[in-house]
Structure 1
Amino acid sequence: MKKVIVVGGGLAGLRAVEALRERGFEGELTLVGAEIHEPYDRPPLSKAVLSGESGDTTFPVDWGRLGCALRLGHRAEELRPHPDRPGGVLRTSAGSLDFDGLVIATGAAPMRLPGTGPQHVLRTVDDARALRAALHEGARVVMVGAGWIGAEVATLAARRGCRVTVLEAGDAPLAGVLGSPAGALTAGWYAEAGVELRCGVKVVSVDHGGLTTADGEFLPADAVVAGIGARPEVAWLEGSGLDLDRGIVVDGSLRTSRPEVVAVGDCAAWWSARYRRRLLVEHWDTALNAPAVAAAALLGQDAAYDPAPYFWSEQFGRMVQYAGHHQATERMVLRGSPDDPDWAVLWFTGDRPTALLTVDRPRDMVQGRRLIEAGTALDPDLAADPTVPLRKAVHA
């Protein structure tokens, strides 16, 4: 393998470049990114960048030492087989490049609300800078979506003196990612912060000066922010021969249906033997750690990726962490009380925890994540007692 292209200028793309070099690839290496910016850290966008505490989260990378050519501001448009030899051709907005191996790390694009009025999303550093300018004291801000991003934006907007309303189509905040019973436990945080939370409200149109809900109500707003999810950037791969199902279908080693192509990050739907299902995980931890496996697979080395997914969020003065996958679990166990400063939720299948949510309980997360990944059985009654360390709730 002499030429490898990494498509995607985010953390997953950068880590793929680094992993290829670390695993011994000495050939020609190129990073193609749709943004004009060098790879930067995204979690601070909804925190330090949005608050104004930081303006630049670019990763400190010596691209010369890595021996990697940068093609920034070049959007991937088509993937096709090479006409004369193994490998393929990547067509971009600035021309075509041939390759022997390809890493796809194009991430996901934020979904937008219908309507002709202006709206903000938060995915890129340019998005964050534009939204920050709109979050001035007294501004009427309507946040649509009470997921992770919605809660983080509402937190910052309230701190900056905005009048914030959060609209959520589901029946509880975080219902889409945690389920309604667990998500409802966070609802009181909004009122504490002076934020109006309205659940069960659907938006049909963003208009000039505000938005219109499904029941015909018009809500005036100086800034409308859409936090309703993201879709993997895979439309450009139609007709490429790769299997697509929401994201790019890959196996437990992140290999696609074409041997010279691997996929990683927000655009990859990978097979988890742990959970016996395909997972599409849009988290920083995946972008950080999965590229080492993708690089190994591309170079013909043995590797597998099957962790308990992990995510963290800072919202309303709390550190919220989540590990695992709870959608197919049998029951939810509350550890402590949501009225306490810190608490947690465990999800069980039988006596084995499959997911964990913690609020200001970092020790629980460290111990619980290890237990989940090891498949260790716990006594649910002991695990429900917040005074008992999770490692001591292990079945004898």
Structure 2
Amino acid sequence: MSENEQTAPSRRVVVVGAGMAGVQTAVALREQGFTGTISLIGAEPHQPYDRPPLSKAVLLGNAEHSAFDVDFDALSVDLQLGREVSGLRAGDHELDTPAGPVPYDVLVIATGAEPVTLPGAEGVPGVHLLRTLDDAERLRPVLAKRHRIVVVGAGWIGAEFATAAREAGCEVVVVEAADRPLPGALPAEVAAPMARWYAEAGAELLTGARVAAVEQGAVVLDGGRRLPADAVVVGIGARPATRWLAGSGIDLGPDGSVTADERLRTSLPDVYAVGDCASFPSGRYGRRLLVHHWDNALQGPRTVAAGIVGADTGEGSEPGEIYDPVPYFWSEQFGRFVQYAGHHGAADTLVRRGDPEDPAWSVLWLREGVLVAVLTVGRPRDLAQGRRLIEVGARIDTERAADPAVPLKTAVL
């Protein structure tokens, strides 16, 4: 009997969330031989689309959309768009929607993350978020008119939007409550040199600046400074989109994430979680990780699909594979290509490769001599080699690694 014939065709998989994680789950299920019914439910009315282009190509009008190149009909995927899911009744194996209940045999939660809003800014005219295609469409005419824009938050999305706004010729002020850009992502000694990127691009960066109020036409800071603003873009982070799971009995972490296990199974039977909404235990890093990045949403679905197909075929008591990736993300900002791989939280040694005042440089993080994370600016070869070395747990000669002329792969002890 072939692998395709072994899967149970009567089983119905319902995937909630039609972003990268949800779409790739449906694709991976078919690639791995699942022949049952697959329903993909998305809250937005648009064809499923990729999010990274929203902060650049779509925003600047260089692309009308970023729809995934996936033939859902050819995959026999029942695509249900513009449908909200309001609750989960695990005992009945049903989802609640305004149009009625949706039964499932296996459920995959892939609802992603939602932006954190700025208190007091909701409903103020001219205040924007940048998370969805509709958000980008609302911001396109703002950039086209070269408005004065205040960006709240100097994280990844704030920097990327500020880059696009400056390219469009807008006057840009970025307000950050911390003393440096990227405060939640990188330590001070690494992120602080990035502050000059804003000035070089013609954007003003105000650090240590807290927003006291947002009014139509202005942002008011603590201390009374008033920043004129034709538009305000809020980029102060995101949280797992899991509030619809309240009362379902599913285990959620203090960060709101679905606490999946090493195979991305949740605390409820027949329910998986993947992508920005799910945290998972990392054996590699010895802690639970919540990764809000594109690569996680691309890789995790393969583990989910393997678990579902493995359960159908009865292959062992623990079907599927363990999910323990080296996290990876990238950002294009102010003419620079920034990449990061790994997790530096428990590192005890920092090694610089090059001067952060130069156009290209890298930073390595080690724990007890083992490479655990790498950040590169304009040095893609360092990233590619570093990521592989992290995967195998390589020990690094710090003296050789500190020389940017030495290939990183040759600095292994």
Same structural fold, with TM-score higher than 0.5 when normalized by the shorter chain: yes
Q: Distance in 2 between matches of 1:303 and 1:233?
A: 25
Letter in 1 for 2:355: S
Letter in 1 for 2:300: A
Are the counterparts in 2 of residues 82 and 98 from structure 1 also a CA contact under 8 Å? no
1:8 is matched with which residue?
A: 17
Q: 1:222-242: CA deviations, max 9, x gaps?
A: 010000001101111111111
Which region of structure 1 is more displaced relative to structure 2, 8-17 or 117-126? Answer: 117-126
Matched, 1:93 2:111: no
- Cα offset, 1:64, TM superposition: 1.4
Q: Distance in 2 between matches of 1:223 and 1:152?
A: 16
Are the counterparts in 2 of residues 253 and 297 from structure 1 also a CA contact under 8 Å? yes
Which region of structure 1 is more displaced relative to structure 2, 136-145 or 180-189? Answer: 136-145
Q: Which runs of 5+ in 1 are unaligned?
A: none
Q: Secondary structure at the match of 1:49?
A: coil
Q: Which runs of 5+ in 2 are unaligned?
A: 1-7, 312-318
- Cα offset, 1:138, TM superposition: 4.1
Q: Pick from 309, 322, 334: which aligns with 2:340?
A: 322
Q: How does 1:211-230 map to 2 (within 5 A)?
A: 211-230=219-238
Are the counterparts in 2 of residues 117 and 209 from structure 1 also a CA contact under 8 Å? no
Which region of structure 1 is more displaced relative to structure 2, 91-100 or 355-364? Answer: 91-100
Q: Secondary structure at the match of 1:175?
A: coil
Q: Pick from 102, 120, 124: which aligns with 1:117?
A: 124
Matched, 1:168 2:176: yes
1:178 is matched with which residue?
A: 186
Q: Pick from 32, 39, 45: which aligns with 1:36?
A: 45
2:315 is matched with which residue?
A: none
- Cα offset, 1:67, TM superposition: 0.8
Q: Distance in 2 between matches of 1:169 and 1:82?
A: 45
Matched, 1:269 2:276: no
Are the counterparts in 1 of residues 40 and 79 from structure 2 also a CA contact under 8 Å? yes
- Cα offset, 1:215, TM superposition: 2.3
Are the counterparts in 1 of residues 60 and 143 from structure 2 also a CA contact under 8 Å? no
Q: Secondary structure at the match of 2:64?
A: coil
1:20 is matched with which residue?
A: 29
Q: 1:190-245: CA deviations, max 9, x gaps?
A: 11011101111111322111122222322110010000001101111111111001
Q: Distance in 2 between matches of 1:249 and 1:289?
A: 17
Q: How does 1:1-396 map to 2 (within 5 A)?
A: 2-83=11-92, 88-115=93-120, 116-118=123-125, 119-136=127-144, 138-245=146-253, 246=255, 247-299=257-309, 300=311, 301-395=319-413
Letter in 2 for 1:101: V
Letter in 2 for 1:347: W
Are the counterparts in 2 of residues 141 and 224 from structure 1 also a CA contact under 8 Å? yes
Q: Distance in 2 between matches of 1:138 and 1:33?
A: 33
Q: Secondary structure at the match of 1:314?
A: strand
Letter in 2 for 1:253: R
Aligned residues: 391
Are the counterparts in 2 of residues 344 and 358 from structure 1 also a CA contact under 8 Å? yes
Q: Distance in 2 between matches of 1:254 and 1:340?
A: 41
Q: Distance in 2 between matches of 1:181 and 1:370?
A: 25
Q: Distance in 1 between matches of 2:191 and 2:219?
A: 25
Letter in 2 for 1:121: L
Are the counterparts in 2 of residues 262 and 297 from structure 1 also a CA contact under 8 Å? no
Q: 1:149-172: CA deviations, max 9, x gaps?
A: 111111111111111000111111
- Cα offset, 1:3, TM superposition: 1.0
Letter in 1 for 2:276: D
- Cα offset, 1:378, TM superposition: 0.4
- Cα offset, 1:179, TM superposition: 1.8
Letter in 2 for 1:40: Y
Instruction: Quote the RMSD (CA, aligned, Å).
Output: 1.2
Q: 1:272-325: CA deviations, max 9, x gaps?
A: 111111111011101111101012223323211111100001101111001111
- Cα offset, 1:71, TM superposition: 1.1
Q: Distance in 1 between matches of 2:189 and 2:100?
A: 50
Which region of structure 1 is more displaced relative to structure 2, 132-141 or 324-333? Answer: 132-141
Identity of aligned residues (%): 55
Letter in 2 for 1:268: A
- Cα offset, 1:94, TM superposition: 2.3
- Cα offset, 1:127, TM superposition: 0.6
TM-score by length of structure 2 reads 0.92
- Cα offset, 1:82, TM superposition: 4.1
Q: Secondary structure at the match of 1:130?
A: helix
Q: Distance in 2 between matches of 1:127 and 1:100?
A: 34
Change (3 A) 1:138 1:57: closer
Are the counterparts in 2 of residues 117 and 210 from structure 1 also a CA contact under 8 Å? no
Are the counterparts in 2 of residues 145 and 169 from structure 1 also a CA contact under 8 Å? yes
Which region of structure 1 is more displaced relative to structure 2, 136-145 or 386-395? Answer: 136-145
- Cα offset, 1:56, TM superposition: 1.2
Are the counterparts in 2 of residues 308 and 369 from structure 1 also a CA contact under 8 Å? yes
